[in-house]
Chain A
Amino acid sequence: MRGLMNKLVSRSLYVAGKWQQQQLRRLNIHEYQEEPKNKMRGLMNKLVSRSLSVAGKWQQQQLRRLNIHEYQGADLMNKYGINVPKGVAVSSIDEVKEAVKSAFPNENELVVKSQILAGGRGLGTFQNGFKGGVHIVKADQVEDIAGKMLGQILFTKQTGPQGKVVSKVYLCEKLSLVNEMYFAITLDRKTAGPLIIACSKGGTSIEDLAEKYPDMIIKVPVDVFKGITDEDAARVVDGFAPKVADRNDSIEQVKKLYKLFCERDCTLLEINPLAETSSNQLVAADAKLNFDDNAAFRQKEIFALRDPSQEDPREVAAAKADLNYIGLDGEIGCMVNGAGLAMATMDIIKLHGGTPANFLDVGGNASEGQVVEAFKILTSDDKVKAILVNIFGGIMKCDVIASGIVNAAKQVGVLWSDFSVYIGEQVALKVPVVVRLEGTNVDQGKRILKESGMTLITAEDLDAAAEKAVKAASK
């Protein structure tokens, strides 16, 4: 009966698992607009992260779900009829010329912004020495400045030491903003529904404001049976209280933002500042959009906007293999089944004085091929000095993991008895591997590892395994 039950369960989970493996995307969206002055850039970064703490208070949700570029976010909002500053994304000097001529014939000044998926652009430096990833320039200087950015690597505080390549530059109209307000929509865990948040004061001090004057933050939960009503939208508008923009127009803008939020499976939509221009228009001057990874199967258009050139190559490789992987910068590579156990494994490594190199949940449905890929990613990480495989198989079978490790070792090369193995172009990596197997088919798994002749360090429980891994890494 147990055998039958196991089969039934594992087959059902294969079905569920096929879909489970889909959502390994992480997509994020840029801030939308910022003053190109360096100081402002730093402030904007602070304000974005702080505003998210305001939104975050009501819905502790994902900062990084879908990462899409600023110009893509603006384009999306524009499609929904939401007012955004006018902008054109360009990838070459010719396109720059064309854009200035056709889209901005009458502008004296334009904002030129590097499109990378990291913050801190204003204060960043390019590989060619040019300073600042965001500039306000006179129309006749746009070509020159854009030329210094396109195709270059930009280093900011958030890009990491390798920087990020600027494939596109966003040319925007320079707006004079009269009033800055705050607007956000989140999915609130407490009310288990959409929550709209508005504040009449946006900008950098939103977090301080939320602390000192919580009454200035207006929260409007939306009844999911009714959808957003005119009354709801009106309360929101009165909440951020535009000074000059037309009230009815503003109500319509709120409804459009809500529509985008729902139709595109957003987990967070934050506009800070939601501004009024000198021409009495309400405009989303800076936006952060997060999308639900779980909805990738029905948001193909959105998830197609993902730019892998901006991501950690280890994570790109992992996503290709449908592995749930997050790269960190420690020394002990981890392979675990189950997200909670994977996090606990990282915690316990730290407790024993080591540093985890990554988070990796192979899940209950990992195939041998995926285990091989996972092992390859871990061993290709230069920083990794030891690998810890911690498997407590319920649905996951220990023999599948064991076969995967053995096959990966054959392809990648690990220390094999007393010999270093050279395979193809890959130099043997003398990375000690600590394996702890428990649960379904544990005996078969252990036998496979024993018979492979691989030099492995085994452990019986998680504490011992972590301790051994830390010791192995420090040698």
Chain B
Amino acid sequence: VGGVTPKKGGTEHLGLPVFNSVAEAKAETKANASVIYVPPPFAAAAIMEAMEAELDLVVCITEGIPQHDMINADIFTPQVRVKAALNQQSKTRLIGPNCPGIIKPGECKIGIMPGYIHKPGRVGIVSRSGTLTYEAVRPFIGYLLSHLDICVDQSLSSIYVPEDTSSHACFLDLLLEKTWGVFQTTAVGLGQSTCVGIGGDPFNGTNFVDCVTKFLADPQTEGIILIGEIGGTAEEDAAALIKSISLSKIIVSLNFDPLPWLKANIRESGTEKPIVAFIAGLTAPPGRRMGHAGAIVSGGKGTAQDKIKTLREAGVTVVESPAKIGVAMHESGGVYAACMPMLLLSVVGLNCNGAE
């Protein structure tokens, strides 16, 4: 689809057809996903239109949608009740609004993130911030670069060095081409399985809980990174989920000797996959909206300190700097013996209710 713009149906854009409505586009092309760049006054209505056309995935990039539009804007635009409508159906998933989009490196990108900094891999990333995510993705490259000496010595007889070595990404591309096998066997492979930007708004379509659930079930994802910020309880909800999953996994293992199984499978997070997080806004003053509509500490709630504490209690490794995320992820591949006694104790005293 070249685009959907009322009254421009029948024209072409980038060699692809433009349609008047989402329903038309879907009927003609069988498109099942949409990305929305519509300006704020009309963006919520655009989301509703995509939902009514029953697309599988809608990604809304737009920043600045009035909060009432996401809740109920019947006064301003007939029938616009995005959240309520979303909750009443299960066909369409909304990502955003006010997000950079979603990318599966090497396969598909719906959004505005720079593709070249991503590499296919085994870490799932979910984030409320766009550029902060790039920062977290980038250290993987830096970390890989720091391993270069070893890999190069072992496998290459000659190295191509571009004139401008300040461009790390392209240097890495070249190096990866030549040493891909080496990197894989050194098990660095810290690329991304899927990277989801859930956006900075308080009312959005997809949250940490949704993504963590999917990452835990995704065989390609072996580690999860959460990038949060002040405001709301999305991080705390994720922590609660992570905690509850840990407990149910332990119950499942009771019909055989749990210790070896725990040793083999339980990472610090208590789930099978290590989870690392960074929460922005420790220094944000209370009561001020820090850019994102959802990033505000109000009435003492939604502070970065609370989120960090809650996540740590659930077994998530929370780092102080986005530069440390890659390192923490790599290092958390092992088992933390200190956690095991705690986990076993929880099993003994636990009242099993509804465990699978």
**Which residues of A are at the interface with B, using a C-beta cutoff of 8 A?**
2, 4, 8-9, 12-13, 15-16, 18-20, 22-23, 26, 49, 52-57, 59-65, 187, 189-190, 192-194, 224-225, 227, 262-263, 265, 267, 292-295, 297-298, 324, 326, 328, 336-344, 346-351, 356, 359, 361, 364, 392-396, 438-440, 442-443, 446, 460-463
Contact = CB atoms under 8 A, between A and B. Distances in A.
B71 A192 contact: yes
A328 B65 CA distance: 27
Contact of A53 (B74, B299, B304): B299
Given A193-B71, A326-B290, A341-B135, A56 B299 contact: yes
Give the residue among A65, A292, A351, A460 with the most B Cβ atoms within 10 A.
A292
B128 interface: yes
B64 A22 contact: yes
A146 B233 CA distance: 46
B112 interface: yes
B61 interface: yes
A295 B291 contact: no
B317 interface: no
Nearest to A12: B37
Contacts of B64: 16, 19-20, 22-23, 294
Given A63-B296, A262-B72, A189 B203 contact: yes
Nearest to A446: B166
For chain B, give the interface size range: 35 or more
B227 A340 contact: yes
Nearest to B281: A343
A448 to B, nearest CB: 14
Contacts of B120: none
B299 to A, nearest CB: 2
Given A56-B299, A339-B295, A340-B127, 7 more contacts: A16-B64, A61-B202, A265-B66, A294-B67, A344-B132, A347-B281, A392-B138
Interface in B186-218: 200, 202-203
Contact of A339 (B75, B133, B200): B200
Contacts of A463: 321, 323
Given A193-B83, A298-B66, A339 B283 contact: no
B217 to A, nearest CB: 25
B292 interface: yes
B134 A394 contact: yes
Contacts of B75: 262-263
B296 A342 contact: no
Contacts of A192: 70-71, 83-84, 87, 203
Give the residue among B64, B81, B134, B166 with the most A Cβ atoms within 10 A.
B64
A193 B84 CA distance: 8
Contacts of A189: 202-203, 232-233
B124 interface: no
A298 B231 contact: no
Give the residue among B41, B87, B230 with the most A Cβ atoms within 10 A.
B41
List the 6 closest pairs (A to B, CB-CB), nearest first.
Answer: A340-B129, A56-B299, A339-B291, A338-B131, A53-B299, A224-B72
B185 interface: no
Nearest to A346: B283
29 contacts: A9-B112, A16-B38, A16-B64, A19-B41, A19-B64, A20-B63, A55-B299, A60-B231, A63-B296, A187-B203, A190-B233, A265-B67, A293-B289, A295-B66, A328-B285, A339-B229, A340-B295, A341-B129, A343-B295, A344-B280, A346-B283, A347-B280, A347-B321, A392-B131, A394-B100, A394-B131, A461-B138, A461-B142, A462-B323
B293 interface: yes
B134 to A, nearest CB: 5
B300 interface: yes
Contacts of A336: 131
Give the residue among B65, B72, B117 with the most A Cβ atoms within 10 A.
B72
Contact of A442 (B40, B67, B74, B167): B167
B300 A53 contact: yes
Contacts of B83: 192-193
B135 A344 contact: yes
B298 A61 contact: yes
B93 interface: no
A328 B100 CA distance: 28
B247 interface: no
B301 interface: yes
Interface string B291-329: 111011111111010000000000000001111000000
Contact of B283 (A16, A60, A350, A446): A350
Given A341-B135, A348-B321, A439-B114, A64 B287 contact: yes
A37 B233 CA distance: 38
B143 to A, nearest CB: 11
B161 to A, nearest CB: 16
A439 B116 CA distance: 9
Contact of A338 (B38, B129, B298): B129
Nearest to A1: B14
Given A13-B37, A340-B280, A343-B230, A324 B203 contact: no
A342 B66 CA distance: 22
A392 B66 contact: no
Contact of A297 (B41, B68, B164, B166): B41
Contact of A394 (B76, B114, B301): B114
B302 A292 contact: no
A347 B129 CA distance: 15
A328 B286 CA distance: 12
Contact of A356 (B40, B233, B283, B293): B283
B271 interface: no
A57 B284 contact: no
B107 to A, nearest CB: 16
B7 interface: no
Contact of A350 (B164, B282, B293): B282
Contacts of B284: 343, 346, 359
Contact of A18 (B39, B135, B281): B39
A311 B201 CA distance: 25
Nearest to B166: A446
B129 A339 contact: yes
A339 B112 CA distance: 16
A347 B203 CA distance: 25
Contacts of A60: 202, 231-233, 296-299, 301-302
Contact of B112 (A13, A20, A59, A298): A13
A343 B37 contact: no
Contacts of A53: 299-301
B62 interface: yes
B290 A342 contact: yes
A361 B298 CA distance: 21
A294 B66 contact: yes
B39 to A, nearest CB: 4
Contacts of A59: 298
